[in-house]
Structure 1
Amino acid sequence: MKKLIIAFSLATGLFLTSNFAQAQQKIGHVNSDDIFDNLSETKAAEASLDTFTKTKQTEIEKLISTYETKLKAGQEKEKTMTEANKAALIKELSATQTELEALGKNIEDARVKAAQDISKKQTELFTPIQKKVATMIATVAKEKGLAYVFDIAASQGNSNIAYIDGGEDITPAVKSKLGAASVKPAGK
């Protein structure tokens, strides 16, 4: 019986110690959207991506313009068809149609390639910033002794956190360490 009481006391002690240790874990939250929105690096990356996207769009628009010019020229030639030049004109229009089909394929290929290039450029520009922010979040969390940090940014898919009571918001500390400007959104 004495062994049973000792075993029960030991189990109870371990259980209480475990609960006490869990109760001591601190939880914090961060809004990564707020951090990214206020980093100068993010703004520079967005500007660079916009410029790159516009360049790709201009390239596609040039192809479309060439296509439209050739199509219009073909339509104008078709209007000049007579019995005398019918055979030569049909041959010429057939060559124009083949050329237009090739241009159409080039336009579609350019669109696909542009989308891939833009996605690659976006990854190239934003991945280092994301890694830097993630590292700083981990650093601040360790400094503050936090066991868990929840990202409450809507873009991260964590908008399901509807209520936060307590917890420590480490967004300002991370922004400060990264040198991000603190700009309050209008109306908040």
Structure 2
Amino acid sequence: MKRSIKVLVVALVLLFAGAKAEAQVKFGHINVGELVSSMPDIKDADKKIQEFANTLDGQMKTMTTEYQTKIADFQAKEKTMTDPIKEAKVKEIQDLEKRIGEFQQKAQQDIQKKQEELYAPILKKAEDAIKAVAAENKIGYVFDSSKGVIIVSPDGDNILPLVKKKLAIQ
């Protein structure tokens, strides 16, 4: 009887120890910023964003040139203008200033929107690769070390080389 109780206790201890060993979760880390910057797709996206920004910048330069021309014209002819014409010219210049300011804001928003639009599939691809590597290596949690979350970590937990391999990045 004592012997069967001892066997039962030992079996329970081994069972719980085995369950505890299985319950251990692996952690990994990756520098997502480094991963994304090494992806070839990001260079294409950055080039498209720069081209888009250059187009908007060209439009901005045209508006600025028009503004400067109107200012110079106004200053040159101001002494010969009647008050109603002066007021109309000042209002025209102020309206152009306002349009330039609105254009700058809209341009910044459009560039940000374009960046988000072009980066979304790249970030999704990176995220999918990270998830796949984590699943293949039975890693329960992956931390982004580019955010400064991890203070100390062993090199073996860095999954960046595995994810780069998965994405065929050198």
TM-score when normalising by structure 1: 0.76
* Other-structure match for 1:148: 141
Identity of aligned residues (%): 33
* Other-structure match for 1:110: 103
* Other-structure match for 2:122: 129
Structure 1 residues 71 and 166: alpha-carbon distance in aligned structure 2, compared to 1, 3 A threshold? closer
- Once the two structures are TM-superposed, the CA of residue 105 in structure 1 deviates from its matched residue by 1.0
In 2: Cα distance, 1:144 partner to 1:38 partner: 22
* Other-structure match for 2:22: 21
The one-letter code of the counterpart of 1:131 is: K
Would you say 1:174 and 2:163 are equivalent positions? yes
Would you say 1:94 and 2:87 are equivalent positions? yes
In 2: Cα distance, 1:167 partner to 1:134 partner: 20
Contact 1:26 1:167 in 2 (8 A): no
* Other-structure match for 1:161: 150
- Once the two structures are TM-superposed, the CA of residue 101 in structure 1 deviates from its matched residue by 1.1
The one-letter code of the counterpart of 1:151 is: D
- What are the superposed Cα offsets for residues 23-77 of structure 1, whole Å, 9 maximum, x if unpaired? 3x22222121221111110011111111111221221221111111101100000
Would you say 1:78 and 2:67 are equivalent positions? no
- Once the two structures are TM-superposed, the CA of residue 151 in structure 1 deviates from its matched residue by 1.5
* Other-structure match for 2:34: 34
- Once the two structures are TM-superposed, the CA of residue 11 in structure 1 deviates from its matched residue by 9.2
The one-letter code of the counterpart of 2:22 is: A
- Once the two structures are TM-superposed, the CA of residue 123 in structure 1 deviates from its matched residue by 0.7
- What are the superposed Cα offsets for residues 82-114 of structure 1, whole Å, 9 maximum, x if unpaired? xxxxxx532222211111011011101101111
Contact 2:143 2:150 in 1 (8 A): no
Written as runs of structure 1 = structure 2, the 5 A alignment for 1:42-61 is: 42-61=42-61
The one-letter code of the counterpart of 2:154 is: D
Divergent runs of 4+, >4 A: 9-18
- What are the superposed Cα offsets for residues 110-138 of structure 1, whole Å, 9 maximum, x if unpaired? 01111111111011000110001000100
- Once the two structures are TM-superposed, the CA of residue 21 in structure 1 deviates from its matched residue by 2.7
- Number of corresponding residues: 162
Give the superposed CA RMSD. 2.3
In 2: Cα distance, 1:165 partner to 1:174 partner: 17
Contact 2:29 2:157 in 1 (8 A): yes
Structure 2: unaligned runs, 5 residues or longer: none
More moved, 129-138 vs 13-22: 13-22
